[in-house]
Amino acid sequence: MMIKNKEIKKLILVEIIFLIITIIFSFFIANVINNNYKQKIINNNSYIVGSLIKKYPNLEDDIISSIVLKENYELGNSILEKYQLNNVDYVNYDNYLILISVIVVYLVLALINFIFIYNIYKKIQKIDQYMNNILNGDYSLNIKEYCEGDISNLKNDIYKMTVKLKEQSELLIKDKKYLEEVLEDISHQIKTPLTSMYMINDILSNEKDEKIRKEFLLKNKNQIERIEWLVISLLKMSKLDSGTVKLKKEKIKVKDLINKAIEPIKVSLDLKSIDLDLNLSNDTILVDINWTKEAILNIIKNAYEHTKDKITITSKNNPLYLEIKITDNGKGIAKKDLKHIFERFYKGSDNKDSIGIGLNMSKKIINLEQGIIEVETKENVGSTFIIKLYKNNI
């Protein structure tokens, strides 16, 4: 309702105060007018009484007592009427004074209303200019106010909207830049196997030896599988980056989760004669099984690519978090690579064949599970990836 408007309340308060002042002033004027009439009556009586007593000094008591008698008033009025002295015209300036006072009051009230409306108009004009600047992409202005009132509330709401629009605009620019970088990285990653496949096709088209043809067909198949894996991984990455992943959490024993993660790479571990040492607790964890399995699998793959002959996976529970450690006995991570290993498409100096998205994906998934990943590494000893899933997630 308009009556709840702070500015309207302020205007009403000012006008009530001014009205009270006007009433007091009117009473003052009325009192002045009353005193003027009273003085005129006293002057008139003084003139009559003085004239009679001067002429008849011995009749002072009779004259004074006769003034208050009603029949003497009627006699005097008839005599004044006889000599036409009861219709004397005079200018009553008191009436003009009242009229001028009323006019002044209305003019002042009109001035107050004009100032109030003008101020509101200026505020609205300022808001309009501010909105035009926002539409033109200028977010540098600030119309935030700390006083009360609907106009002030509107300004503050517009300011909040401006902050959100600015954040969204910056986010869109950031997303656009990110998309350009991702597309560039994808193009680069796919270009390598495609180039290899073109070369293999050229060789196959001229090769007559069946054994060599089978060998190159196998290489082509590997490149196709690599592209397929890359596309699937990039789709998963895009889901994680866009925030559209909704975790479906289920209870699962840690040892069962690790076994599920190891399953796709078990044959490769056997072919490479890598010893897999599992020392897992019997604890239960609450996670999205598929996504968490993906995160652990990527870390195990990284260990598989860098270890000499052994991977150790352990787990333990404490009052704060459940911890999973994945350790290899490779030559460790170079100091210059350590701070970059979780970056997307980053390749270590000793691993040119890696695409560089597995560890980045693992970090995003574990963070989504409200956990963290840490890395410990020693030269020529190996590296340990430590996953910590906090109790509010277990």
Q: Using CA atoms, how far apart are residues 367 and 240, in angstroms rounded to an integer?
A: 10
pLDDT of residue 72: 66
CATH fold of 144-244: Helix Hairpins (1.10.287)
Which residues of 30-107 form beta strands (DSSP E)?
none
DSSP per-residue string spanning 286-345: EEEHHHHHHHHHHHHHHHHHH-SSEEEEEEEE-SSEEEEEEEE-SS---HHHHTTTTSTT
Q: Which residue positions in the chain have pLDDT lower than 50?
A: 1-2, 89-91, 393-394
pLDDT of residue 208: 76
DSSP 380: T
Q: What is the pTM of this model?
A: 0.53
Q: Three-state DSSP class for 243?
A: coil
CATH fold of 247-393: Heat Shock Protein 90 (3.30.565)
Q: Please, are residues 283 and 260 in contact by the beta-carbon 8 Å criterion?
A: no
For 238-296, how does the pLDDT look when each residue is reduced to its tens digit (9 = 90+)? Answer: 777 777 778 888 899 999 999 999 998 888 888 888 999 999 988 888 888 988 998 99
Q: Three-state DSSP class for 387?
A: strand
Q: Three-state DSSP class for 251?
A: strand
pLDDT of residue 1: 44
Distances (CA, A) of 231 to 119, 121, 224, 237: 61, 59, 11, 10
Taking alpha carbons only, the member of 337, 311, 327 closest to residue 387 is 327
Helix pair 210-242, 358-368: axis angle to 10 deg: 30
pLDDT of residue 166: 76
Q: Please, are residues 144 and 159 in contact by the beta-carbon 8 Å criterion?
A: yes
Q: Using CA atoms, how far apart are residues 140 and 159, in angstroms rounded to an integer?
A: 11
In the chain, domain spans:
2-55+91-135, 144-244, 247-393
For 345-365, how does the pLDDT look when each residue is reduced to its tens digit (9 = 90+)? Answer: 776 666 555 667 788 889 989
